[in-house]
Structure 1
Amino acid sequence: MTHSGMSRRVFTLGTLASTAALAACGNGIGSRGSVTIDARVNATLEEMYRSYPNTRSLAQKADGMLVMPLVTEAGLGLGGAYGRGALQVNGATVDYYSVVKGSGGLQIGAQQFAHVLFFMTNEALMDFRRSPGWAAGADLEYVISDKGDSVAADTTTTLSPVLAAVFARAGLRLGATLEGTKYTRIIP
């Protein structure tokens, strides 16, 4: 088999595996409705506060939080991720968002995780809300490490305009990061 034939096969298999994994998961694709998203957001916040108590003080200091209760990521050569969540300001939901991520390279497997973005300044929150499609970059400061350890929320950490907590992983794929992830406002 030629290299180009193998590349097409890997591309096709990766696309099919990603699509099937995303469609088969319980991430709410097709179950439209703000009630479902809000219930999942509340459960996610309760889990985060219980598992990582220092995130409660971050939430109190934040101007807003984007809560993505369930993001499903899958890949075989090519990969993708999808999830839906809500932006909360002062404890109330103000908007709903979807998250989409695409990736390529040596990868195989699937995983599910939750994440919360803490907007620590009003400027960062307003930039996010005004953007037609905000993309997370390498400049995010993670407050929960890849091993699930909680990082202390000290003054140095809270100087970052956007902080991220990634937790509650399940699956067989390594390296959940938010780099290259795009968030778009939706109407559930």
Structure 2
Amino acid sequence: MTHSNRRTFMIGLGATGLLAACDNGLRGTGATTIDARVDSTLSQLYNNYPGTAALRDKSVGQLVMPLVTEAGFGIGGSYGRGALRVGGATVDYYSATEASFGLQIGAQQYAHVLFFMTQEALQGFRASPGWAAGADIEYAVSNRGENLSAETITSLSPVIAVVFGQAGLLAGATINGTKYSRIIP
């Protein structure tokens, strides 16, 4: 094994270990459990941040990730499972994974919802074998308690992300670079 192959193997082994440490209790629990967690997450979102109801009403679909666990120590990763809702009904299940490298240490958990504001954005997401969140996503942020900024509610962005419920010791929670893949629970 060459030095380069060993390094690649060690990085892969480390990333696998970190993702295993990111276990968030959703593996192997089935569609019924994921749907129940999605219902609970949406209820919490709309109750704690009433401004997000306007996003729901304007969107053509929502990808709900009830619990994403992220951990890092130089090499990091995150994992979560959730459901895509269209017209209030679950149409598919997805996993969210991310790998990261750099100066980082800690762990956190959070929930997020992607609001698809156009049919084109939703169709592109569903047609993709593995959709990666990028710079084209606009983040809705709370500016005072339960209020969302008016700019976010009236945004023309095709996808709006709401990240909430952060708990842990890793600073910041974004979904840039997160890859979403369809799964069978």
| TM more than 0.5 | yes
The offset of 1:139, in angstroms, is: 1.9
Q: In percent, how many aligned pairs have the same letter?
A: 61
- 1:18 matched to 2:18: yes
Deviates further, 98-107 or 135-144: 135-144
Deviates further, 36-45 or 150-159: 150-159
Structure 1 stretches of 4+ moved >3 Å: 10-17, 145-150, 153-157
> Which residues of 2 match residues 27-42 of structure 1 at below 5 A?
28-31=26-29, 33-42=30-39
CA distance in 1, matches of 2:118, 2:67: 25
CA distance in 2, matches of 1:146, 1:75: 28
Q: Secondary structure at the match of 2:78?
A: strand
Maintained 8 Å contact 1:120/1:158: no
Name which of 65, 87, 99 aligns with 2:62: 65
- 1:74 matched to 2:71: yes
Count of aligned positions: 179
Query: Counterpart in 2 of 1:152?
Result: 149
Q: Secondary structure at the match of 1:158?
A: coil
- 1:86 matched to 2:83: yes
CA-based RMSD? 2.6
CA distance in 2, matches of 1:159, 1:22: 34
Name which of 112, 115, 122 aligns with 1:115: 112
The offset of 1:153, in angstroms, is: 4.2
CA distance in 2, matches of 1:56, 1:182: 26
- Which residues of structure 1 form unaligned runs of 5+? 1-6
**Residue type matched to 1:131 in 2?**
S
Maintained 8 Å contact 1:146/1:175: no
Maintained 8 Å contact 2:55/2:153: no
The offset of 1:17, in angstroms, is: 6.0
What TM-score does the superposition give when structure 2 sets the normalisation length? 0.87
**Residue type matched to 1:22 in 2?**
C
What TM-score does the superposition give when structure 1 sets the normalisation length? 0.85
Listed one character per residue, the Cα deviations across residues 27-60 of structure 1 (whole Å, up to 9, x for unaligned) are x1232x1000000000000000011101011101
- Which residues of structure 2 form unaligned runs of 5+? 1-6
CA distance in 1, matches of 2:144, 2:170: 13
**Residue type matched to 1:86 in 2?**
A
Listed one character per residue, the Cα deviations across residues 71-99 of structure 1 (whole Å, up to 9, x for unaligned) are 00000000000000000001010010000
1:90/1:75 Cα in 2 relative to 1: closer, same or farther (>3 Å)?
A: same
